[in-house]
Amino acid sequence: MKTASYFLALAGLTWLVIGLAPEVLAQDTAPAIQEEVELKVAPETQALGSIEKTLNELQSMQAQFRMVPPEGKPLTGTLSMKKPGFIRFDFGESANQLYVSNGKTLSVIDYEIGKVERVPVKDTPLSLLLSEKFSLKNYRSRVITNPDSRADLGLMVEDPKRPEMGILTVYFRFKQKETPQIDHSLLVDYWTIVDGQGRLTYVILENQQMNVTLSDKLWNFKDPRGRARRRN
């Protein structure tokens, strides 16, 4: 039987947590990424400034996501996140998997086999996006401008001390497509993960709601193990 660790690796959850969802997408295509890009939108420093501003101003978000794994069918679910450290990947009431962070610990719940695995948020690149202040300290990074037909900017990030964790690239688009030189506001649009074996996973966001009020109940979950087997 495949463990939660298998699903974490499949979706690049060493970098960003995503798991199995009960619904299969009708659309299974993902935006093509150019290997070579030209700096057309803005100098790298200006682009990085816009990205840093966006991620520092982002305090909470809720969105639908589509996941295109390296193999298998596309999947879907709902993402909720709040700084500092709270995140939930919900795959619907009929799903066997749920991923929830209570601010410090990420719990990976498998209802099919009645198992819960825990990972400290600080030990995952989730901390990069969920920390109070966005910082690229200790990470190797590169800004990509005009990466594809969907996104306007990209930020490629990897941990040089843990290259086996792969490469995360977060893509952004301007909120105001018509006047990006005036309004630099960005939306987190999608991300990709290339794992240690070179396998590519897409996680594409839709219907993003930024800086919304989220219920504290989102960070709780029903423990499938029974009271006697639970760990504190």
Q: Is residue 230 part of a domain?
A: no
Q: Over 70: is that where the pLDDT of 152 sits?
A: yes
pLDDT of 211 = 94
pLDDT of 154 = 93
Compute the average pLDDT of residues 64-93.
88
The two structure tokens encoding residue 109: 């719940």
Q: Is residue 107 part of a domain?
A: yes
Instruction: Note the pTM of the prediction, 2 decimals.
Output: 0.73
Burial class (CB in 10 A: 0-12, 13-18, 19+), 68: buried
3-state secondary structure of 221: coil
Whether the CB-CB separation of 203 and 87 falls below 8 Å is answered with no
Residue in this structure with the two tokens 């396998």, named with its chain if needed: 199
Q: Is residue 228 part of a domain?
A: no
Q: Is residue 155 part of a domain?
A: yes
pLDDT of 46 = 80
Average pLDDT, the chain: 78
CB atoms within 10 A of CB 49: 14
Domain hosting 52: range is: 4-24+40-209
**Which of 29-33, 97-101, 122-126, 207-211 is the least confident region?**
29-33
Q: Over 80: is that where the pLDDT of 2 sits?
A: no
Q: Is residue 229 part of a domain?
A: no
Q: What is the share, in percent, of the chain residues with pLDDT greater than 90? A: 29
How many domains would you assign to the chain?
1
Q: Is residue 143 part of a domain?
A: yes
3-state secondary structure of 209: strand
Q: Is residue 226 part of a domain?
A: no
Task: Residue 113: give its domain's CATH number.
Answer: 2.50.20.10
Compute the average pLDDT of residues 65-78.
84
Q: Over 50: is that where the pLDDT of 226 sits?
A: yes
**Confidence band of 58 (pLDDT split at 50, 70, 90):** very high
Compute the average pLDDT of residues 89-116.
89
Rounded Cα–Cα distance for residues 169 and 164 (Å): 15
Q: Is residue 62 part of a domain?
A: yes
